[in-house]
Amino acid sequence: MSDFRQAFLAFSVARDVLRFGDFVTKAGRRTPYFFNAGLFNDGESLKRLGEFYAQALLASGTGCDQLFGPAYKGIPLASATAIALAGMGHNLPWSFNRKEAKDHGEGGSLVGAPLKGRVVIVDDVISAGTSVRESVETIIAHGARPAGVLIALDRMERGTGALSAVQEVRETYGIPVTAIATLDDVLAFIATSAELAKWRDAVAAYRAQYGAA
């Protein structure tokens, strides 16, 4: 596992973003882990999160001219990633959408740089894929090209069919999805921790029961 992935998971545990125990997902599945990116909720954690996103994007090799953050969660994530990339020598424009278009001022539903070239969508996770679909439609409508999706964690979990939400996005839109870490990374990470190793069997069993191939 890459160093930045291990550091990201350690940071997530330290911030209580990644927790282990007995939880129930929105789909009604009992799960031994829970990931809540909303708890990266102060300046220092957002700064570090942006750096992890930037490292993951650069490591992926995905060609990118611009970042797009879907409202609402994607807005701070795309901005933090853009700042981190600039600090690494990659100054990219970024923008985000409004949930409701403005009919005054600058108007429209897009804020920030005009969408041009290859655009990477930055979000926390992919669940139903609704946010990705809307983002792809927005990008194409503005004459740009969706180049990929960048997320914090790939749960690698099946939806209603055999594919995971991430796999469905890849198959539907033909674009790469890059995650800072995956559930397999989580398994590798907790196996090296004396404190967390007790959860490995439960997480592995969940992966076996609900995980996509």
Which neighbouring-strand residues pair with 149?
121, 177
- Give the H or E element holding residue 76: helix 74-87
How far apart CA 129 and CA 189 sit, in angstroms, is 27
Verify whether residue 198 is a known catalytic residue.
Answer: no
Catalytic residue of the set 73, 99, 102, 198: 102
Q: How many structural domains is the chain composed of?
A: 1
Strand 18-24 to strand 30-35: parallel, antiparallel, or no bridges (unpaired)? antiparallel
What CATH number has the domain bearing residue 105?
3.40.50.2020
pTM: 0.93
Q: Specify the 3-state DSSP secondary structure of 91.
A: coil
Detail the DSSP E strand segments found in 57-144: 66-69, 94-102, 108-112, 118-122
* C-beta separation of 85 from 92 below 8 A: yes
* C-beta separation of 74 from 159 below 8 A: no
Q: What is the pLDDT along the chain (213 residues), one digit of tens a residue?
A: 569 999 999 999 999 999 999 999 888 899 999 999 999 999 999 999 999 999 999 999 999 999 999 999 999 999 999 999 999 999 999 999 987 765 544 547 899 999 999 999 999 999 877 889 999 999 999 999 999 999 999 999 997 789 999 999 999 999 999 999 999 999 999 999 999 999 999 999 999 999 998
Detail the DSSP E strand segments found in 123-208: 145-154, 177-182
Verify whether residue 90 is a known catalytic residue.
Answer: no
What range defines the domain where residue 74 resides?
3-210
Catalytic residue of the set 104, 116, 142, 198: 104
